[in-house]
Amino acid sequence: MPEATSTYRPTNGNGEPHMTSLIITDASIHGRPGRHDVVIEQGLVACIEPTGTTPRTEGTARPDAAPATVIEARGGLLARAFVEPHLHPDKSFSLSELPAAEASGLNHFARASRIKAAFTPEQVARRARRAFELAVSNGVTRLRANIDIDSIAGLRGFEGVLQAREEVASILDVDLVAFPQEGLGRDPGAYDLLREALRSGANLIGGWPNVEEGEDAQRAHVATVFDLAEEFDVDIDIHADCWIEERERMLEVIAEETMTRGLHGRVMASHCCGIECYHDNARYVADKVAEADVRVAVIPLNLVDGILRGLSRPHMLRQAGAQVIVGSDNLNDGWYALGTLNPLDRIYMAVVGGGFADDEVDAVWHMVAGGAAHALDNRSRADTAVESASDVHIGMVADLVLLGAHDRLEALRRPGGPVTTIKGGRVVARRTVEERIMDVDAFGAALGGGAAARPARGVIPR
Ligand SMILES: [Zn+2]
């Protein structure tokens, strides 16, 4: 599958060089039958033609023509690049920083707090960069980062992630959410630090009202987050109702506050697991979320982490008209030891955990790619991108991913397959996979069977 590359010098019809920078040949594209060649010029998808019909000028171009990189997709699926709408890169890969003896007996919250007390900007930058590069290697070109801003971490985590963002700026777009993980009422020192972060490069304000003690304090937390959003003219990305518990009831409050302030389309609520167990008014809350155009990021990879967390009734929210997308959350940190940062895993888990039918896989794929991008960026209500429409189209920014599978279902069956990530028309990451099918007779011989052991029968390049 995606493997071979070469360069040649393309020209336009007059024999003059044009600005072609990348050509992908023989690609499968969801929504377009057959194989296609895709030409990318100046960072945009400029041309999509059935394979074999794209004019090739190899050998005839003027010597001053700009060389283009050619990727032979060999039937691989060329798709819109993935979006990671919810990650905590300040904490990513930090679990090993807490000795097991110290971690023993601590809950997740306490573990994470203990780890971040020792944050240094340099150490955070190193781990965050590792997480960013992992995301890019998995086909992600856009990521939203929540960063703890509180009296424990100060601004050290923020400074570290800022540095890491700068280091990966050419391969990954990163939004920064100033996140008061420890609360605002519980941690009064967080407020001034949040303001400092918003003045220093954070482009969203976060929150987690449920961490406060009692409903009045939780509502006050929501109000303060919205006040800061209005003062700094930034959008909101707020954690809400992280567990399946009846008392987790902030999603409705957030929707009401959004409508009261006229901030429709500017608020993302993540997790929102509480709605799973509302027996009385789940649909009522879903309707309010849709009316306020609060976007909801569900987190399927945190479905269970010692306690059941649920998946936020994505069907009901979608039926109500809300935009639902899928994020990752934690990655090998005090909150969660696992995590892969692989969008294919996110899709798979969302399908399974959300109870989607197999003919809804395209809808869930959309929640991790084009729909996620729309939810992050577009304040207009309608997500007009239809899941069944051609995934790659002329004129779009060439943030693309080439997978070693012919279609989406095959890709989901092989989340560890080859990946080429393209950002702005430039290849920014490539993962190749060599697959060896061992000779079954050799296994038989090793187990005492009659056939003599032979070398591996073949190597399939992927
Ligand atoms: Zn989170």
Residue 7 in this model has a pLDDT that exceeds 70 = no
- Consecutive H or E run containing 85: strand 82-87
Average pLDDT of the residues in 389-416: 92
Q: Which residues are placed with Cβ below 5 angstroms of ligand 1, an ion?
A: 329
The 10s digit of each residue's pLDDT in 243-270 is: 888 888 999 999 999 999 999 999 999 9
Residue 48 in this model has a pLDDT that exceeds 70 = yes
Residue 59 in this model has a pLDDT that exceeds 60 = no
329 Cα–ligand 1 center, Å:
5
Percent residues over pLDDT 90 in the chain: 68
**Is residue 336 very low, low, confident or very high in pLDDT (cuts 50, 70, 90)?**
confident
Alpha-carbon gap, residue 336 to 87, rounded angstroms:
12
Residue 310 in this model has a pLDDT that exceeds 90 = no
Radius of gyration, alpha carbons of the chain: 24
Burial classification of residue 272, based on how many CB atoms lie within 10 Å of its CB (0-12 exposed, 13-18 middle, 19 or more buried): buried
86 Cα–ligand 1 center, Å:
6
**Is residue 280 very low, low, confident or very high in pLDDT (cuts 50, 70, 90)?**
confident
Nearest to 303 by CA among 279, 329, 334, 275: 329
208 Cα–ligand 1 center, Å:
9
**Is residue 442 very low, low, confident or very high in pLDDT (cuts 50, 70, 90)?**
low
Q: What one-letter code names the amino acid at 141?
A: T
C-alpha of 289 from chain center: 22
200 Cα–ligand 1 center, Å:
21
Residue 383 in this model has a pLDDT that exceeds 80 = no
Nearest to 392 by CA among 29, 26, 27: 29
Residue 67 in this model has a pLDDT that exceeds 90 = no
133 Cα–ligand 1 center, Å:
19
Residues in the chain: 462
Average pLDDT of the residues in 295-317: 80
100 Cα–ligand 1 center, Å:
23
Fold of the domain spanning 5-75+392-431: Urease, subunit C; domain 1 (2.30.40)
88 Cα–ligand 1 center, Å:
6
Contact of 282 with 289, CB cutoff 8 Å: no
Look up residue 312 and give its two tokens.
């936020």
Pairing of the two strands 44-50 and 324-326 = unpaired
239 Cα–ligand 1 center, Å:
6
What does the DSSP 8-state code read for residue 154? B
In this prediction, residue 459 carries a pLDDT of: 45
Look up residue 450 and give its two tokens.
């009659």
Average of per-residue pLDDT values in the chain: 87
**Is residue 107 very low, low, confident or very high in pLDDT (cuts 50, 70, 90)?**
confident
Look up residue 207 and give its two tokens.
């929150």
198 Cα–ligand 1 center, Å:
19
338 Cα–ligand 1 center, Å:
14
In this prediction, residue 318 carries a pLDDT of: 92
57 Cα–ligand 1 center, Å:
50
Average pLDDT of the residues in 212-234: 97
In this prediction, residue 77 carries a pLDDT of: 97
Average pLDDT of the residues in 305-329: 86
**Is residue 434 very low, low, confident or very high in pLDDT (cuts 50, 70, 90)?**
confident
Percent residues over pLDDT 70 in the chain: 84
In this prediction, residue 109 carries a pLDDT of: 87
Strand partners, 178: 147, 205
- Consecutive H or E run containing 410: helix 408-413
Place of tokens 């069956």: 413
In this prediction, residue 6 carries a pLDDT of: 39
Count the neighbouring beta carbons within 10 Å of the beta carbon of residue 106.
Answer: 14
Residue 17 in this model has a pLDDT that exceeds 90 = no
The 10s digit of each residue's pLDDT in 140-193 is: 999 999 999 999 999 999 999 999 999 999 999 999 999 999 999 999 999 999
Q: What is the 3-state secondary structure (H, E, C) of 122-141?
A: HHHHHHHHHHHHHHHHCCEE
Average pLDDT of the residues in 64-70: 70
- The pair phi, psi for residue 88, each rounded to 5°, is -115, 80
Q: Is 326 left (phi over 0), alpha (psi -120 to 50) or beta?
A: beta
In this prediction, residue 243 carries a pLDDT of: 84
Contact of 68 with 7, CB cutoff 8 Å: yes
276 Cα–ligand 1 center, Å:
18
Place of tokens 């577009």: 378
Nearest to 290 by CA among 333, 326, 348, 251: 251
Residue 37 in this model has a pLDDT that exceeds 50 = yes
237 Cα–ligand 1 center, Å:
10
Alpha-carbon gap, residue 383 to 362, rounded angstroms:
15
Look up residue 209 and give its two tokens.
């009202």
3-class DSSP assignment, residue 184: coil
Of 86-95, 123-132, 278-287, the range with the lowest mean pLDDT is 278-287
Strand partners, 235: 204
Residue 241 in this model has a pLDDT that exceeds 70 = yes
In this prediction, residue 460 carries a pLDDT of: 42
The 10s digit of each residue's pLDDT in 194-203 is: 999 999 999 9
232 Cα–ligand 1 center, Å:
22
99 Cα–ligand 1 center, Å:
23
30 Cα–ligand 1 center, Å:
31
Count the neighbouring beta carbons within 10 Å of the beta carbon of residue 460.
Answer: 10
Residue 13 in this model has a pLDDT that exceeds 80 = no
Nearest to 46 by CA among 406, 362, 446, 394: 394
In this prediction, residue 354 carries a pLDDT of: 87
297 Cα–ligand 1 center, Å:
10
In this prediction, residue 91 carries a pLDDT of: 96
283 Cα–ligand 1 center, Å:
24
Alpha-carbon gap, residue 74 to 3, rounded angstroms:
8
**Is residue 305 very low, low, confident or very high in pLDDT (cuts 50, 70, 90)?**
low
Of 12-21, 46-55, 249-258, 319-328, the range with the lowest mean pLDDT is 12-21
Average pLDDT of the residues in 205-217: 97
Of 198-212, 245-259, 367-381, the range with the lowest mean pLDDT is 367-381
Alpha-carbon gap, residue 151 to 160, rounded angstroms:
16
Helix locations, 268-368, DSSP H: 282-292, 314-320, 343-353, 361-366
Alpha-carbon gap, residue 91 to 255, rounded angstroms:
29
- Consecutive H or E run containing 437: strand 434-437
Alpha-carbon gap, residue 44 to 169, rounded angstroms:
18
51 Cα–ligand 1 center, Å:
43
**Is residue 412 very low, low, confident or very high in pLDDT (cuts 50, 70, 90)?**
very high
415 Cα–ligand 1 center, Å:
23
Alpha-carbon gap, residue 349 to 35, rounded angstroms:
29
Average pLDDT of the residues in 129-136: 98
Domains 5-75+392-431 and 83-377 agree in fold: no
Of 125-139, 216-230, 421-435, the range with the lowest mean pLDDT is 421-435
Q: What one-letter code names the amino acid at 16?
A: E
| Longest CA–CA separation in the chain, Å | 78
So where are the chain's domains?
5-75+392-431, 83-377, 437-462
374 Cα–ligand 1 center, Å:
20
359 Cα–ligand 1 center, Å:
29
Which residues are CB-neighbours of 132 under 8 A, at least 6 positions away? 89, 143, 164, 165, 168, 172, 174
Alpha-carbon gap, residue 173 to 141, rounded angstroms:
6
Superfamily of structural domain 83-377: Metal-dependent hydrolases (3.20.20.140)
357 Cα–ligand 1 center, Å:
27
